[in-house]
Amino acid sequence: MLETKTERIVTPARNILGSLRIPGDKSISHRYALLSALAGGTTKLTNFSTGADCASSLGCADALGATVTRRENGAIEITGTGGSFKYSTSPLDCGNSGSTMRMLTGLLAATPNTYTLIGDESLSRRPMERIRKPIYQMGAEISLTDGHAPITVSGGKLKAIDYTTPVPSAQVKTAILFAGLQAEGSTTVRESVRTRDHGELALRAFGAHVDRSTDSTSIAGGQPLQAIEAAVPGDISSAAFFLCAAALFPGSNLVFDSLGLNPTRATLLDVLTALGAHIGVLNLEEKNGELVGTVQVNAPANGLKGTTICGALSAQLIDELPVLAAIAPYTQNGIRIRDAKELRVKESDRIALVANNLRKMGAQVEEFEDGLDVPGGQKLHGAEINSGGDHRIAMAFSVAALKATGDTMIQGAESAAISFPEFYDLLNQVAER
């Protein structure tokens, strides 16, 4: 976690106007960084995520023998190891990044060395058995600490498996595919709900052949990876906070350039459209398998309606649910969230924190084990918000604060830097006060 604790006051806004270029997608940046470390040649990346989480993936790549170079223009070059990771006597520090820890475990599973993966206090509370079980079945020795990090990985010769994930998780799926790339035979991952497919697309971009059906993904072992040149699309999960903010103010007009519009991630646009927001998508193109485009959002004149988010939709929107819940009081009919129990084991218990902070701002909200009911037609007032050290909670309630009466203080606002260091600067740039 970041050592300097900061509080930030967010004042109400009159409107949201302007254009933004959002930093690179976290999910894609993680996967490009880790695959670059394994690949042969030098990968050149622009618009790589500026978040601390993705810096953890770069740090681990460097510790494993890849050469990571940051250019003055912000570009990052990674010269890979060609499949032969260096032995690291020091623990590999994953910081606050569950993505780094879980996916790196899969990548290290075939390496005939023993590595220890550590994280900060928050990451050390997150469940890791879901990654231990499949990787162990493939032939690696994985030791946890009471089901959590630190993780010890003793790699070796891997055999392919056919595995059904008990909890829909793109991180777990990607970790198994990363291990499967280095296993004997063809590894298949099956999932009941289709999760984001950045791992599959990244593997293809680096030259691997990946087969996909409606509910499964397969990869043959023994395929070499080659370096790429790529611009990382803007992160739609980071854009979510601004999309929701613009949707609150009649007369708003916000444009996003080069935004990632992967169909497994762009569900938020469908939900905002269902709520009544006007969303336009322009200049859609494909880059390294990822869809990228320009997005324009305007708020409806009569305010947002309401909706229910449940089932597969909850899994697809898992990162965006906190900000949708935070703006729910301002909708006409409220937002109901179910089948989102996974929110309780993220960087914080996001269900509990969202409910508590909404109540602090004067909202009625009903909390359930797997979700929330937030009635619409409510007025919120400024309050002292507890982010719980969770970047998405800090940013979600900064958005709620824009339409509240009076100022709101966000405690632990520094946590936004985990994924989005520029967040508050960009918020002040587009918020008319």
Contacts of 266 (CB under 8 A, 6+ apart): 236, 291
Closest residue by Cα to residue 415 from 123, 185, 96, 148 = 96
Q: Are 174 and 107 in contact (CB under 8 A)?
A: no
CA angle 319, 322, 325 (to 5 degrees): 135
CA-based max dimension of the chain:
62
Q: In one letter, which amino acid is 105?
A: T
Q: How many CA atoms lie within 13 A of 297 on its CB side?
A: 32
Q: Are 395 and 241 in contact (CB under 8 A)?
A: yes
The tokens of 75 are what? 């570009």
Instruction: Answer whether the bond into residue 150 is a cis peptide, omega within 30°.
Output: yes
Q: Are 316 and 269 in contact (CB under 8 A)?
A: no
Going by their DSSP bridges, the two strands 76-79 and 42-46 should be labelled as: antiparallel
Instruction: For the sheet with 114-118, list strands across it.
Output: 92-93, 114-118, 148-154, 141-145
Alpha-carbon span 185 to 271, nearest angstrom = 40
Alpha-carbon span 80 to 204, nearest angstrom = 17
For helices 52-63 and 98-108, what crossing angle results, to 10°? 20
Residue 291 CA, chain-centre distance (Å), reads: 17
Alpha-carbon span 221 to 179, nearest angstrom = 8
Q: From the candidates 235, 319, 373, 390, give the one annotated as an active-site residue.
A: 319
Torsion on CA atoms 170, 48, 265, 411, rounded to nearest 10: 90
Closest residue by Cα to residue 432 from 15, 19, 12 = 15
Asked about 25 being catalytic, the answer comes back as no
Q: Are 249 and 16 in contact (CB under 8 A)?
A: yes
CA angle 49, 256, 241 (to 5 degrees): 70
Active site residues: 319
